[in-house]
Structure formats: C-alpha cells, structure tokens
Chains A and B, each alone.
Chain A
Amino acid sequence: MKPAPFEYFCPDSIDQALDLLSEHGDEARILAGGQSLVPAMNFRIQQPAVLIDINRVPDLDYILEEENVLRIGAMTRERQLEFSDLLSQQAPLLHESVPFIAHPQIRNRGTIGGSLVNADPAAELPALMLALNARLKVRNNSQERWIEAPEFFIGMFTTALEADEILLEIALPVMAERTGWSFMEVAPRSGDYALMGVAALVTMGEDGKCEGAKLVYLNAGDGPLEAKEAANILLGEKISDDLIQSAAEHGSEHEITPFGNVHASPEFQRHLAQVLTKKTLTQAVRRAEERKQ
C-alpha cells in the first residue's frame, strides 16, 4: 500500500496554487489534510500525477463572524471547528456534529474544505452545509464565484467545483432566533462513517407554531439530502408527537434514497432515518422552546 509517484508542488500563495492548478488541470489534486486523499492514494485508487499541497498557503484557516455571517477558511482543521467557542455559540449544530467525524488524530489534520470537496455522501460536513444554508467561495486563476450548498453537491464524491478551482471559504448565516437544532447519527463504532445521520433545525414562532424547519440526511443517497416535504409538514403547525411521526415517516419513506452497504440494508437505513428524524426533531423543538425563553 504505497502511493504511485507524483510531482509535488508546495506553493506559498494562493495565486501560485491557482496557477499550478490551471497548468496541470485534471492531472492535479489539491492536498489539504490528506485524510481522504492519502488513504485513497495508498490503496492506489487515486493516482494523481501532480499534488499541490496548500498547507503552506497562508490565511486559509480562520473562523470569523462578520455581520451575522460566519466565515470559515477552507483549510480550517476539523479540530479547530470542534474547539471553537464562536461556533458553539453561533452554529451549535455544526459544532455538535464535528466530534462524530473520525478520531482526534484525523480531525487534527482533516479540513472542512477537504471534507466538502471530497463529498462523501456519508460525511457529516456536507450535510451540515445543506442544513445551514452555506455558501461556498471558490476561485480559479481568473475569477471567484459563490456556490450555494445545494448546487455544490452534485453526486457521489462529485461537486460543482471545476478542475481549476480551489474552495477558499465557507459562509454561513449565524443561527436564527428561536431556533433549535439537533444532530444524531448511528455508526457501527464511534468515529465510523454513519449508517444514517440526520441534522434538524426548527424555528418556533412566538405563537408556538413552527416557523421554519429543515431536515438533512447523510448516507441517504448519492449526496447530502434535504427532505423538504417532511419539513413542510411541520410548518405553521403546533408541534406534536404525531406530527413529528408523520414528518419522520414521510422523510424516511419518500424523500431519501439510501442504497445500503455491507453494514446496513437500505431498509434498515430507512428505519434508522425514521427513528433519528423523530429524535432529532424532538430535541430541536425542545431546544427552540428553550431558546425562546
């Protein structure tokens, strides 16, 4: 299990990195934390001819708040997300989900940008981006553009990023008032990719009725998957266990398309989706009520 040979570049500015990328195009891969790319190279599943290591490019790791928007640099390590006070206050959903990713040694290296570009359908962060209405800033050597999360994830391990583009930043609105959150997953062991995971956000109006709801699933299809109809069932309603149950049933039966793996059949995944939807919605509603007071 040794990687195939490659040409290695270690640019110290983003412009240099972008020039190298545009020069080598499809042949090249960006090396961020390496926690997905290097195992794939060790198995020789991936054999890029050129690696562009952006670990020495300055100013790509930060977590800031500006005008109610959280800005996270693409090279921010998963460990930094885990220990960020700012995130725990302004994006508790994201903050709470990070410890579910792998193990400390992996999170010390793995980056948010790497996880998003990797776009593993079972990964936590892509689903969280959908749940949090994230926008992603990407750039090639001539222009910069923003992509909304739903447009970014277009399939299994596939994103809207062009071969010459680098993901630079993730922007998220801070969590709205009167909003509760919950993230839960079932994995064979702690740190494993989940068999099923659900992120839920619920905003409760002053009148005790649901003003907004969002449900996003991971490992439920070929990318992170939002269940809009299920969430709509809650809108404008007073939340009851029955209502949550119908949302859970609808989401798990009609809106997800899990295809199973060696650890779980699609049927079991749907079952887990239903159970987790119930649990996450219940917790999110409770938290929203708490935050109202």
Chain B
Amino acid sequence: MTRLRSVAITVNNQEYKREVEPRMLLSDFLRHELGLTGTHVGCEHGVCGACSILFDGESARSCLMFAVQADGHAIRTVEGLSADEDHLHPIQQAFWEAHGLQCGFCTPGILMSLIPFLEKNLDPTEEEIRHALSGNLCRCTGYQHIVDAVKLAAERMR
C-alpha cells in the first residue's frame, strides 16, 4: 500500500474531501468512495465509454484517470444532470420518450458524452450524431432509438 493522498474534488457542484491511494481509478472513486454509482464500468480500458464523465466540462473516461488527478477539478456525473426522477434533463427526457435505452448500463456514459456535444451543436445531422456516439458502445439498442433521442433533445433544446 502506498501513501494516501488527500484530494478535494468537486463533483456535481459539491466538494468532497477524501484520502485516497494514488492508484485508485477515478471511476472507482466516484462509484465506491462517493457512492455515485450512476457512472458505470464496462471495460476499464477506455473502449466502451460506460464510464464517461465530464472533467472540467469535457467528456473523458473515468476509468483512464486516477482520482488524484482530479484534485481541485470539477467533475460532472449523470447524477448531476437532474435533481430527481421527476425533473429530467431534456436529454434524459428525450431518451425516455424515444426509448433510447434498454438495460440502461451504457446510458449514463452516453448522456455525459452528449452533453458537450449538444452544447456545441444543437442542430446535428444524423451522421454527426453517430460520430459523437461512436466512442460509446451499446449492446442492446442498435443505436437507432438513441440517435432519435438525440435529435429530439436537440430540437427541444434549440
């Protein structure tokens, strides 16, 4: 066991102070230290995208970062998208209506990858949407309803 380090990380606008081993992955930190289990882990080698979060506003894989690297930075996870189940973010609402999820395991990572995408482009083509989704694997939906959900969300957010 190596020396623990203290970190202060802002997650969904709340600051958390913890002592962590340097090797603790940010994904494990969020899930198991903070109990924010909405961020999922599917591969731990950067491919599936289930663990995608926002790091200072940009999407990133939380399985490819150490918690210590997030010291002093701002993280946003799926839990930060809406106050509760009755007040969904427009993207969440669109996923619900368009049936953009089945098992829902890939969904948090997909939502978090889409947030910055839609911030930059509220009128995306299907091709652009599919490119934006290409770093997130979904084994259940065949992506079509996800694409539809993104279109719907963009329309509503315009």
B is bound to A: yes
Q: Mark A1-21, 1 if CB is under 8 A from B, else 0.
A: 111111110100000000000
Using a CB–CB distance below 8 Å, which chain B residues touch chain A? Answer: 1-3, 5, 21-23, 25, 28, 44-46, 49, 52, 55, 58-61, 63-66, 68-69, 113, 117, 131-132, 134-135
Q: Mark A44-58, 1 if CB is under 8 A from B, else 0.
A: 000000010101000
A5 x B23 contact (CB < 8 A) = yes
25 A–B pairs (Cβ distance < 8 Å), ordered by A = A1-B44, A2-B25, A2-B28, A2-B44, A3-B23, A7-B3, A8-B23, A8-B68, A10-B68, A34-B65, A34-B66, A34-B69, A35-B64, A38-B64, A39-B45, A43-B45, A79-B58, A102-B135, A105-B61, A105-B135, A108-B55, A108-B58, A109-B65, A190-B134, A191-B134
Residue A238 is within 8 A (CB to CB) of chain B in the complex? no
A238-276, CB < 8 A from B: none
Q: A42: which B residues are within 8 A, CB to CB?
A: 25, 44-45, 63-64
Q: A106: which B residues are within 8 A, CB to CB?
A: 46, 61, 64, 135
- Give the CA-CA distance A102 to B28 in the complex, in Å: 23
Q: A7: which B residues are within 8 A, CB to CB?
A: 2-3, 22
A8 x B5 contact (CB < 8 A) = yes
- Give the CA-CA distance A189 to B135 in the complex, in Å: 11
Residue A103 is within 8 A (CB to CB) of chain B in the complex? yes
- Give the CA-CA distance A34 to B44 in the complex, in Å: 13
Contact partner of A5 among B21, B46, B132, CB < 8 A?
B21
Listed residue (A2, A7, A39) with the most chain B CB atoms within 10 angstroms of its CB: A39
Q: B65: which A residues are within 8 A, CB to CB?
A: 34, 38, 109
8 nearest A-B pairs in the assembled complex, by CB-CB distance: A103-B135, A8-B22, A39-B45, A1-B44, A38-B64, A105-B59, A108-B58, A5-B2
Q: B55: which A residues are within 8 A, CB to CB?
A: 108-109
User: Chain B at the A interface: mostly helix, strand, loop or mixed?
Assistant: mixed
- Shortest Cβ distance from B75 into chain A, in angstroms? 13
B69 x A6 contact (CB < 8 A) = no
Q: A109: which B residues are within 8 A, CB to CB?
A: 55, 60-61, 64-65
B21 x A55 contact (CB < 8 A) = no
- Give the CA-CA distance A196 to B46 in the complex, in Å: 22
Instruction: Using CB atoms, name the residue of chain B closest to A190.
Output: B134
- Give the CA-CA distance A265 to B84 in the complex, in Å: 52
Residue A104 is within 8 A (CB to CB) of chain B in the complex? yes
Instruction: Using CB atoms, name the residue of chain A closest to B52.
Output: A105
Q: A31: which B residues are within 8 A, CB to CB?
A: 69
B58 x A103 contact (CB < 8 A) = no
- Shortest Cβ distance from B99 into chain A, in angstroms? 24
Q: A190: which B residues are within 8 A, CB to CB?
A: 131, 134
Q: B131: which A residues are within 8 A, CB to CB?
A: 190
- Give the CA-CA distance A41 to B106 in the complex, in Å: 24
